Structures are given as structure tokens and as C-alpha cells.
């Protein structure tokens, strides 16, 4: 895994966007895996700027990591709404090119299988953007998620519900369940770019980069991925002992898949 430490959260976004744009240059029909949360918003803003300057995203397919269970797609806090508002609309990506797990499906297991099948039919994820939870989660794979897990219905941890309570009127309004791509599903992306900023992410980042590869820190799977980059601001990188890389131009491919 490569680690790039850049000056501030906006630079994190710009650096991650450069990696996405490189991938788009190689494949105009890129399958772009997208994360929700605050961390990747600066990346989406940088991509939207590229679109305004002429980059064509109309053939890009966008795949979300996760969705709350039981929140209508029209609810602004749903991840359907987030992906549409922050990504598909600004980048002018057609609706048919957007894939989000269906958190309102009467049969969640069938919905997860259909999601995996649709992703497979698109040829899998080319570049996956990730954030990281304070507890090391990726997507909604909470600590304890198997590193070979697939898309499934899962319960949110209390830490995650508390962190996401800022988006809801009352803490008890945060959905308790979600559908999420599994760690194993995410790991199949050919390239992964994880973005993190702020001191509240430092411990999770350090565990993911320098701790053991373990279900206790789902993001630690990145250590075994052959094309993964973390883009961090100095505060998020503050817990790292051995990584002080700041200028990787093209991330190296190292280690087993
Ligand atoms: C949610 C999402 C994750 C995201 C995390 C961190 O729980 N399911 O994909 O990485 O939040 O969010 P933030 O970037 O706002 O800290």
C-alpha cells in the first residue's frame, strides 16, 4: 500500500481526483466505486471541476458501497440521494449508470445477490474510493466483518450510529441496519484509493496501515491489496510511525493480491 500525506483536506480531494482521472484516461467507461460520508466530498468537488473543464464522465458507471435499510431513496440522508446529489448529477452520469444496494427491498438477501450480479455484469470495480470509519470500518463493514465477506445485510455499530447521528434529528433516528458490499467484494476492485482527514481518523488509519491484518480493523485488508493508496492530511497521518511518503506520482504495485 502507498501512503500519500498532503497538506490539507482539499489537497486530499485533489490528489484522489488525479488518481481517478488517470483511471478515466485509461478507460472512459470506468466503473468507479464511490463512498459516502464527508471525507470524499472534496474529491467529488475536484472531479466536478474537471467535468466543467471538459472531462467526459458520461460513460462512467458508478457503484455505491452501501445503503441504509428502511430509508426511502428520496430521503436526502439515503445513500441513493447522496450518490445522485454529490456525484452523478454534478458529473452528468446517466441514471442507468448508477448502482446502489436497495435498502428497501422486501428480500434483502436477494437484493444483495442482485447487486453483486449487476456489478459482475459491469466487469467489476475499476477504481474504488473509500473513506474510513473511526473504528476502521470500510463501507459499513464494522469490526468483526470477515475479510472475505460479500454484499449483505448488516447491523451498524453504536460508534457508527453515534458518528452518523449528526445527519439525523435524533440519535434514535439513525437506521440500525444497512446493506453493504463485503470486504471481499471491495477487495476485488482493481485499484483502491482511501481518503481520510482529521485527527479523529488517526488511530483507525494507523491500525489499518501499520497494525495486523485483522477483522478487528476491516480497513487493514488494504495491506494485502496490490494497488491501494491512502491519501491523508497530516492530522489523519499523525499516528503513523513508518510512513512519511508525500509525493508518489504513480502508486507502485507490490505484495500479493
Ligand atoms: C459512513 C460510510 C462510510 C464512510 C464513513 C466515514 O459510515 N458508510 O463509507 O467511510 O461513514 O464517514 P466520514 O467521511 O464522514 O467520516
CATH of the domain at 165: 3.40.50.1360
The pTM for the full model equals: 0.94
pLDDT digits (tens, 9 = 90+) for 96-108: 999 999 999 999 9
Domain membership flag for residue 160: yes
Instruction: Give catalytic status of residue 135 as yes or no.
Output: yes
pLDDT digits (tens, 9 = 90+) for 50-93: 999 999 999 999 999 999 999 999 999 999 999 999 999 999 99
Residue with the nearest Cα to atom 11 of ligand 1?
37
- CA-closest candidate to residue 208, choices 177, 184, 232, 179: 232
Count of beta carbons in the 10 Å neighbourhood of residue 53: 7
Domain membership flag for residue 144: yes
| Euclidean distance between CA atoms 252 and 245, whole angstroms | 12
Domain membership flag for residue 256: no
Ordered alpha helix ranges (H), 134-197: 158-164, 183-187
Instruction: Give catalytic status of residue 107 as yes or no.
Output: no
pLDDT digits (tens, 9 = 90+) for 9-48: 999 999 999 999 999 999 999 999 999 999 999 999 999 9
**Candidate of 9, 12, 132, 168 to mutate for ligand 1, largest count of ligand atoms within 8 Å of Cβ:** 132
| Euclidean distance between CA atoms 167 and 125, whole angstroms | 28
| Euclidean distance between CA atoms 119 and 103, whole angstroms | 16
Instruction: Give catalytic status of residue 66 as yes or no.
Output: yes
pLDDT above 80 for 256: no
Site of grid cell 485488508: 221
Domain membership flag for residue 114: yes
Q: Which residue segment(s) compose the domain that 203 sits in? A: 2-249
The closest-lying atom of ligand 1 relative to the alpha carbon of residue 139 is: 9
Question: How far, in Å, is the centroid of ligand 1 from the Cα of 131?
Answer: 6
| Euclidean distance between CA atoms 208 and 87, whole angstroms | 27
Count of beta carbons in the 10 Å neighbourhood of residue 146: 13
Catalytic site residue from 97, 135, 141, 164: 135
Q: Are strands 98-99 and 66-68 parallel, antiparallel or unpaired?
A: unpaired
Domain membership flag for residue 192: yes
Instruction: Give catalytic status of residue 137 as yes or no.
Output: yes
Residue with the nearest Cα to atom 6 of ligand 1?
133
Contact 164, 135 (CB under 8 A): no
pLDDT digits (tens, 9 = 90+) for 211-227: 999 999 999 999 999 99
Catalytic site residue from 67, 86, 102, 142: 142
pLDDT of residue 242: 74
Domain membership flag for residue 11: yes
C-alpha distances out from residue 25 to 149, 163, 203, Å: 31, 36, 34
36 Cβ closer than 6 Å to some ligand 1 atom: yes
Q: Are strands 177-180 and 191-196 parallel, antiparallel or unpaired?
A: unpaired
Total structural domains within the chain: 1
Amino acid at each position: 500500500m502507498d501512503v500519500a500525506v498532503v497538506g490539507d483536506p482539499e489537497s486530499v480531494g485533489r490528489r484522489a481526483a488525479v488518481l481517478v482521472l488517470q483511471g478515466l484516461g485509461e478507460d472512459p467507461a470506468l466503473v468507479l466505486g464511490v463512498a459516502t460520508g464527508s471525507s470524499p466530498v472534496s474529491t467529488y468537488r475536484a472531479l466536478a471541476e474537471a467535468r466543467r473543464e471538459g472531462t467526459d464522465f458520461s460513460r462512467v458507471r458508478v457503484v455505491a458501497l452501501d445503503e441504509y435499510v428502511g430509508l426511502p431513496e428520496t430521503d436526502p440522508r439515503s445513500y441513493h440521494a447522496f450518490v445522485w446529489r454529490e456525484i452523478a448529477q454534478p458529473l452528468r452520469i446517466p441514471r442507468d449508470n448508477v448502482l446502489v444496494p436497495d435498502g428497501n427491498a422486501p428480500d434483502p438477501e436477494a437484493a444483495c445477490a442482485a447487486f453483486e450480479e449487476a456489478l459482475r455484469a459491469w466487469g467489476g470495480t475499476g477504481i474504488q474510493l473509500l473513506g474510513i470509519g473511526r473504528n476502521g470500518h470500510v463501507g459499513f463493514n464494522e469490526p468483526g466483518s470477515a475479510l472475505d465477506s460479500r454484499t449483505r445485510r448488516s447491523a451498524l455499530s453504536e460508534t457508527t450510529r453515534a458518528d452518523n447521528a449528526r445527519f439525523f434529528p435524533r440519535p434514535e433516528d439513525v437506521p440500525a441496519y444497512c446493506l453493504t458490499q463485503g470486504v471481499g467484494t471491495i477487495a476485488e476492485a482493481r485499484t483502491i484509493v482511501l481518503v481520510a482527514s482529521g485527527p479523529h481518523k488517526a488511530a483507525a488509519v494507523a491500525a489499518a496501515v501499520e497494525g495486523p491484518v485483522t477483522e478487528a480493523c476491516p480497513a487493514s485488508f488494504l495491506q494485502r491489496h496490490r494497488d491501494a493508496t491512502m491519501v491523508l492530511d497530516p492530522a489523519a497521518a499523525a499516528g503513523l510511525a513508518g510512513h512519511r511518503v508525500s509525493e508518489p506520482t504513480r502508486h507502485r504495485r507490490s505484495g500479493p493480491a
